[in-house]
């Protein structure tokens, strides 16, 4: 148990920052991070050291966030207060407003959230976490070529989104 405590202490910052970018959320992070470590604990007997613990943790996080997004989508479809949720979503500052305030960082965060969750994961793992293509392929259980192609396309999409928003700002400004 002491070993596991040490493991949590060593990786908690990485888990929180990765989850923050993958979800674009800062509020529910603690619960998600707790679930990540719980899943790691359950999986440890099956962990034979073929991969690093960090790779294993990234895989758990990507799967957990995908599950969470699917769950939210399903709840949104089934929920009678769908409109209320939409209103809440729109009340958050959109990329346009953020760019107007010259907050490029937040605009990029907002644009990231509009990407496919898998593409967002690839961008996060590559740029923020500095993971090699091979490791990302192992984390996502995807071919190396697919990872490289998706990374390039996702980046291009981000650029297009930011460019469109910038030009909209100029027109409206």
Q: Footprint of other proteins on this chain (CB under 8 A)?
A: 1, 4-5, 8-9, 12-13, 16-17, 20-21, 26, 29-30, 33-34, 37-38, 41-42, 44-46, 104-105, 108-109, 123, 127-128, 155, 158-159, 162-163
Cβ closest to other proteins, residue 100 vs residue 109: 109
The residue assigned the tokens 């929920």 is: 79
How many CA within 13 A on the CB side of residue 40? 26
Q: Tally DSSP H helices, then E strands, for the chain.
A: 9, 0
What is the smallest separation between the CB atom of 89 and other proteins, expressed in angstroms?
19
What is the smallest separation between the CB atom of 96 and other proteins, expressed in angstroms?
17
What is the smallest separation between the CB atom of 75 and other proteins, expressed in angstroms?
24
What is the smallest separation between the CB atom of 90 and other proteins, expressed in angstroms?
22
Q: Which two tokens stand for residue 28?
A: 């529910």
- Whether 164 contacts 172, CB under 8 Å: no
The candidate with the shortest Cα–Cα distance to 164, out of 89, 90, 114, is: 114
Cβ closest to other proteins, residue 2 vs residue 83: 2
What is the smallest separation between the CB atom of 100 and other proteins, expressed in angstroms?
16
How many CA within 13 A on the CB side of residue 146? 11
How far is residue 16's CA from residue 26's CA, in Å, rounded to a whole number?
Answer: 9
3-state secondary structure at position 50: coil
3-state secondary structure at position 150: helix
Cβ closest to other proteins, residue 5 vs residue 50: 5
Cβ closest to other proteins, residue 30 vs residue 67: 30
Cβ closest to other proteins, residue 72 vs residue 104: 104
Q: Which two tokens stand for residue 34?
A: 């707790």
């Amino acid at each position: 148990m002491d070993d596991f405590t040490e493991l949590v202490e060593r990786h908690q910052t990485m888990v929180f920052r990765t989850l923050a970018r993958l979800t674009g959320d800062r509020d529910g992070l603690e619960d998600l991070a707790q679930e990540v470590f719980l899943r790691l604990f359950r999986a440890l007997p099956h962990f034979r050291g073929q991969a690093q613990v960090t790779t294993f943790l990234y895989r758990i996080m990507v799967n957990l966030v995908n599950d969470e997004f699917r769950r939210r989508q399903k709840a949104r479809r089934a929920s009678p207060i769908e409109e209320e949720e939409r209103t809440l979503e729109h009340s958050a500052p959109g990329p346009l407003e953020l760019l107007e305030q010259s907050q490029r960082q937040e605009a990029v965060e907002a644009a990231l959230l509009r990407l496919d969750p898998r593409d967002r994961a690839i961008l996060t793992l590559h740029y923020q976490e500095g993971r090699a293509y091979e490791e990302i392929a192992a984390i996502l259980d995807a071919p190396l070529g697919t990872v490289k192609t998706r990374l390039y396309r996702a980046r291009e999409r981000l650029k297009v989104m930011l460019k469109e928003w910038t030009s909209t700002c100029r027109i409206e400004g």
